[in-house]
Amino acid sequence: MSQSPFKTLHITNYYHKNSGGISTSYNNLLAAAGKLEREAVLIVPGEKEAVEEVNDFARIYYVPARYSPIFDKRYRIIMPWQYMNGG
């Protein structure tokens, strides 16, 4: 990843590669980051910890998360207490 004066960080739940509007919007943002040479990072829930290099300027960080207990069970959800110390 190259250094750029502009960086963006997005943290979102209810994301997976084919999740519809949310993934379409973020996938477009990450593609634009590459075209405009602006760093963009997306943090999303996943099955396990992983990093996906989308292009030279965009990454997706997956953090371990459980499936959503409500709504659509295909989605995983990051709950704040999973990552708070002493919580």
d(CA 67, CA 14) in angstroms, rounded, equals: 9
Instruction: Read off the pTM.
Output: 0.82
Averaged pLDDT, 8-25:
84
Residue 60 has pLDDT above 90, yes or no: yes
Buried b (16+ CB within 10 A) or exposed e, 39-63: bbbbbbbbeeeeeeebeebbbbebb
Scanning the structure block, which residue is given the tokens 């960086």? Answer: 7
Output the pLDDT for position 74.
Answer: 80
Beta strand 50-55 pairing with 39-46? unpaired
